[in-house]
Structure 1
Amino acid sequence: TKNIICAPIRTVRNDIIGVIQILNKKRGRFTKHDLNTVSAITEQAAMTLQNAQGLEQKYFWYCWCNFSFRKR
């Protein structure tokens, strides 16, 4: 590994829900611009993951409610 950027993926509550890792820039070292780009990517990834988790929870409760009402 020649160079590396590692950045946490954080929720709005500052909980870490993942990590992004970028290895071996083709030309030269990683720059401040690269770090800013990775930061923007981690923010988007955090929102996407949180939305997916929210949808998963809604689907769980939808299925649970449907199952509960069918048993009656």
Structure 2
Amino acid sequence: MASRHKEKLFSEYPDVVTVKQMCSMLGGISMKTAYRLLEDGTIRYLKIGKSFKIPKVYIIEYLVGEF
């Protein structure tokens, strides 16, 4: 996928999203599935305190197979 297309993907979301926002970005997956993707390392994330923060670029990498 060209770099310019990646910039437009999910442009309505902030650069760092919550797990709930990630669920929406991935087509409405369940929170359980989202946490499984994070905890098994499929999608990279940052953990700040007890909160998972997911840079949007990590979700895009997952979707285009660049992880």
Normalising by structure 2, what TM-score? Answer: 0.26
Larger radius of gyration: 1
- Greater length-normalized contact order (CA 8 Å, ≥ 6 residues apart): 2
